[in-house]
Structures are given as C-alpha cells and as structure tokens.
Amino acid sequence: MPRYKLTIEYDGTPFVGWQRQNNGPSVQAALEQALHRFCGETVMTYAAGRTDSGVHALGQVVHFDLTKDWPAETVRNALNYHLRPQPIAVLASEAVPAIFHARSSAKARRYVYRILNRHAPPTVTRNRVWHVHVPLDAGAMHEAAQALLGMHDFSTFRGSYCQAKSPVRTLDRLDAVRSGEEIRVEAQARSFLQHQVRNMVGSLRLVGEGKWTTADLAAALAARDRTKGGPTAPPDGLYLVEVLY
C-alpha cells in the first residue's frame, strides 16, 4: 500500500483547526473529502502539527496511504482541483517509505508569529497578524526570549487543555526581529505544548511594552504555573512554517 507525503499551506481563518471536529469545518476533513473525490477511497490523514482554530500553515506536512499507486504529481494536482475554493493548497507530493510518519518522524518544527506593531489597524493582513498598537521594543523581546532556550518544564506556557504527558520541552530557537512595522517571533523545537508559542509571545509582548524584564520572564518560567505567565496571543498571527525530518 503506497504512502504519500504532502506539504500543504492553508489560511486557518475559516477552520476550527487541523483536526476533524463536530463544531465546524477542519483542514483534515477538507483534505480527506478531496481525497475521496479523487480516488473514491475513505482515507485517514496524519499531520505533523495539529494547528488550532485560526492558525495558519505555510509548510504543514501530512501523510496517508492509498491502495492504488498513483504518480505523486497526479495526487498533488487532483487534490488541488478538488480542494477548490477552500483556502488550502498542496505545494508538493511525494511517495515515501511505509515507515515515514508525518508526526513521529519529525525532528523539528518551526513556527513564526507575526505582530503588526503600529497604531493603524491591519487591512490586507487582517486575520493574519496580531495587531498591537502600543510601541514594542523588539530588541528587549529578543534578549528576554533567550532565557527560555533549552530544556525546561514549560507549564507556565502550557494550554489548559494540553494532552501532552509531560510539560518538559527543549526550545532550540526563539528570536524576535523587527522589520518595519512588523515584529516576527520565530520558534523552533522538536515539539511544542498546546498554545506554547502563543503563550510565550503573549509574555514577550509584556517585555516589549516595558512591563516585564528578562528576569520577570525567567521567573515566570521557573514558577511552572500558567497563572504566572502573560496572556495568550491570538491565533491570527501564528504560522506553522516548516517541519524538518
């Protein structure tokens, strides 16, 4: 039974997230419906990251099995045809060995969080950035972010409904860089807890506003208590950019 790996992008705004749910449309359901229209099979898909409602992807990775051996290019083109007009696109398709798993085979995941830092609200980037109208010090945010690098108990930045067995994660990268009116926070780790990136960004905003120092952020991490962390940044600005294997 041939296995396929897809790299896909999507605008998460109209979806309840990657995972199929009963309370609204999901990216997973849309993709599986497109697969059924293409080949007539009922297919289960598996993703590298279960993005939440409103979160976007530029490089989500998915795998699935089919009974017929189709050319990878045919799979990509057929799915893009059947996915229209939904904001989901298959960027690449390839046949992979049966041992490949989109989630468990991943060595790292890279997310980017976009903050629009200006007084005027967004227009063309509406639902794709977090609009923060008060001035933020990106340099201070970057410096403080380095206190979170390494292996830690990230309970302070863990979502209340997180199902991970352990709150311990190793954060390899957390950068905050300004480019004009936009601040981009880039995070990389093998895996993340639910809402971890959004909760870290919410805390970094406090640093950028001058309300917290690097020491305050480090103390919040050490507390291992969600109530000691900053607010959860909205999903709009978060993108799953790349999955490394």
pLDDT tens, the chain, 245 aa long: 899 999 999 999 999 999 999 899 999 999 999 999 999 999 999 999 999 999 999 999 999 999 999 999 999 999 999 999 999 999 999 999 999 999 999 999 999 999 999 999 999 999 999 999 999 999 999 999 999 999 999 999 999 889 899 999 999 999 999 999 999 999 999 999 999 999 999 999 999 999 999 999 999 999 999 999 999 999 999 999 999 99
**CATH architecture of the domain with residue range 109-240:** 2-Layer Sandwich (3.30)
Residue with tokens 């010090």: 137
Q: How many CB atoms lie within 10 A of CB 141?
A: 28
29, 121 in Cβ contact below 8 A? no
Looking at residue 93, its pLDDT comes to: 98
SS3 state of residue 98: coil
Looking at residue 125, its pLDDT comes to: 97
In the residue annotation, 236 being an active-site residue is answered as no
SS3 state of residue 7: strand
Looking at residue 129, its pLDDT comes to: 98
Where exactly does CATH 3.30.70.580 map onto the chain? 3-96
Q: In sequence order, what are the beta bridge partners of 209?
A: none
Annotated catalytic residue: which of 11, 52, 65, 137? 52
Where exactly does CATH 3.30.70.660 map onto the chain? 109-240
Count of alpha carbons within 13 Å of 197, Cβ hemisphere only? 32
The CATH number of the domain covering residues in 3-96: 3.30.70.580
Q: How many CB atoms lie within 10 A of CB 74?
A: 12
What is the Cα–Cα distance from 93 to 74, expressed in whole angstroms? Answer: 9
